[in-house]
Each structure stands twice: as structure tokens, then as C-alpha cells.
Structure 1
């Protein structure tokens, strides 16, 4: 399964990042939660963006473009195979940087992709 880094993770069950964490785990994917909130999502701790993971297949973004700028180096250092820009996170600048680094980018919804078998 695809190990997924969720950027913008939150313990709030009403937020899409939390719903995605639970859906990813339900579909058998291993997750790493990264965010500014403390707590857990899908029974996994939410970490600060400090540890760079090198075994990530997919990063799924739940952070608006203005707040992504401080995360560019972290995201690119992770070297995922792909980045999913969920609705509201679309960012041409980061997409360009990722593509230049050989990282696939998608403007899509992680929850829809999981529900339709396209993940």
C-alpha cells in the first residue's frame, strides 16, 4: 500500500484532513500525520514538520497555499512519488518545483480517489 504523509493533519473529526487520515487507514494505507495541531488522527500522532521521511509514496496537502511556502523545503526533501493538492490547496509555484524535482502532482481529492478506487 502507499505510505502517505498528510500535511495539515488535525485531530478535529469534522475536518477533511482527519477524514482522509481515517479513510486512508481504512483502505490499508500507512500514514504519517504532520501539522501544527497536537493530538492524533486515525490513532496516529500528529508530528511537527521536522522529521524528513524518505519512504513516502504520496503527500496529500490540506494546507492553503500561503501556509505552504514555509513547507516547500520539507515537502521536496521528502521526495515523494506524488503530491495531491486537495481542493483549496492548489499552488502553481509548488507544483512547478515538485515537477522539476521529478515529483508527480495532482489536483484532486484524496477522499474521492479512495472512494472510487483511483488512489
Structure 2
């Protein structure tokens, strides 16, 4: 089963959790796409700076604080993911309610922990 994932808030800095997450997805052969403030890449994964029309996204994992998420609400909903993961620091009650109304599962969790215990 494909768990094609979009990392939102991606960074080219190895010290960032979003960077580490992209690397872990690649290690686990999980197809990954990335959007960040600055273009670049993490290994073979390009970081987009706009809002591409990605197809078949299963999961969106957020590495953006709630203020930065607002401009992505409609975009994320338009991708029709099965779930959105709010990593530590990204918790956002307003967006959780919006996702729930659109039948998208919202999880407050840490993607890196989920991957490390095979709970992804």
C-alpha cells in the first residue's frame, strides 16, 4: 500500500526534523514530496516552493507553526489526503476542525517516532 507523503515545511538543513523525516521516508521506500520556503533538495527529493497539484497523496506531515499553516489550508484539503500529521510545534486546533469537517483524519504525533516504531 502506498503511503505517498508530502512533507510541508521541508528544509535543506540536516539539523531540521523535516530533513531527517525525508531521509527516513527514503530509507523506508516511502514515496515523498516536499514543499518549503526555499527551493533545494534533500537527496533526490526536490523541495518545491509553490503549491503543485500532487496526485495520490496519502499523508501530509506538517513542520510549520500554526501561523504559517493558514495559507495552506485550502491547498492541503484540495489534495484530499487520508490524514494530516501535526508534528510537535505544529498543533493547530482550528485546522484540525477544518480537516475533520472535510473527512480528513488529523493526528497530533511525531512522524519520526512513528517511523522508528513502524507505526507509520
Category of TM-score, reference length = shorter chain: over 0.9
The answer to whether the Cα contact below 8 Å between 1:84 and 1:107 also exists between their aligned partners in 2 is yes
Q: Structure 1 runs of 4+ off > 3 angstroms?
A: none
TM-score scaled by length of structure 2: 0.95
Q: In the alignment, what sits opposite 2:70?
A: 69
Structure 2 CA distance for aligned equivalents of residues 89 and 31 of structure 1: 19
Q: In the alignment, what sits opposite 1:9?
A: 10
Shift of 1:43: 2.0
* CA RMSD after TM alignment: 0.9
Shift of 1:96: 0.5
Q: Deviations over 1:8-62 (max 9, x none)?
A: 0111011000000000111110000111111102321000232122300000000
Residues 47-56 or 3-12, more deviating: 47-56
Aligned partner of residue 87 in structure 1, secondary structure: coil
Q: Give matches, 1:27-106, under 5 Å.
A: 27-106=28-107
Structure 1 CA distance for aligned equivalents of residues 96 and 26 of structure 2: 26
Shift of 1:118: 0.3
Unaligned ranges ≥5, structure 2: none
TM-score scaled by length of structure 1: 0.96
Unaligned ranges ≥5, structure 1: none
- Would you say how many aligned residue pairs link Structure 1 and Structure 2? 119
